[in-house]
């Protein structure tokens, strides 16, 4: 997936405002935020979506959550609260075919997060 935009961010080919990076994941600010704090956490390994996850991805997923917690602390939302969201597929709102975790906060977030379907 050489042309995947998130793979390119992970390789450093596309600039991003990074808050966390290790050999497995990158956390960076979303360029189209939907909340005052909106950070994306991506694995550097290309995984299309949650349906591709198996037991071999356990460590990578743990690193994603560690990066999300670190980003929440850095952005000042760790104590007030934040939401972690993974969308899987177009009906769920996944717009980039690369697994990613949204870290959302900086305001009170409602539930449900969307109006009911008609």
Tens of pLDDT, residue by residue over 11-24, are: 999 999 999 999 99
Q: Please tell me whether residue 12 adopts helix, strand or coil conformation.
A: coil
Is residue 111 assigned to a domain?
A: no
Among this protein's residues, is 57 annotated catalytic? no
Interval 36-88: pLDDT, tens = 999 999 999 999 999 999 999 999 999 999 999 999 999 999 999 999 999 99
pLDDT of residue 2: 62
The number of folded domains in the chain is 1
Which domain covers residue 71, as residue numbers? 5-105
* Alpha-carbon distances, residue 40 vs 20, 64, 101, 116 (angstroms): 10, 10, 6, 25
Residue 74 lies in a domain: yes
In a domain, 114, yes or no: no
Residue of 46, 98, 100, 102 marked catalytic: 100
User: Is 46 inside a domain boundary?
Assistant: yes
Is this model's pTM higher than 0.85 or not?
Answer: yes
CATH code of the domain covering residue 78: 3.30.428.10
Looking at per-residue confidence, does 70 or 115 come out higher? 70
In a domain, 110, yes or no: no
């Amino acid at each position: 997936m050489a042309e995947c935009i998130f793979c390119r961010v992970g390789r450093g080919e596309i600039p991003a405002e990074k808050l966390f990076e290790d050999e497995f994941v990158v956390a960076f600010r979303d360029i189209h935020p939907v909340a005052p704090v909106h950070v994306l956490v991506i694995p550097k390994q290309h995984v299309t979506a949650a349906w591709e996850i198996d037991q071999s991805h356990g460590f990578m997923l743990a690193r994603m959550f560690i990066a999300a917690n670190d980003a929440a602390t850095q952005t000042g939302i760790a104590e007030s609260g934040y939401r972690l969201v993974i969308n899987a597929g177009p009906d769920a709102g996944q717009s980039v075919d690369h697994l990613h975790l949204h870290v959302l906060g900086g305001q009170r977030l409602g539930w449900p997060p969307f109006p009911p379907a008609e």
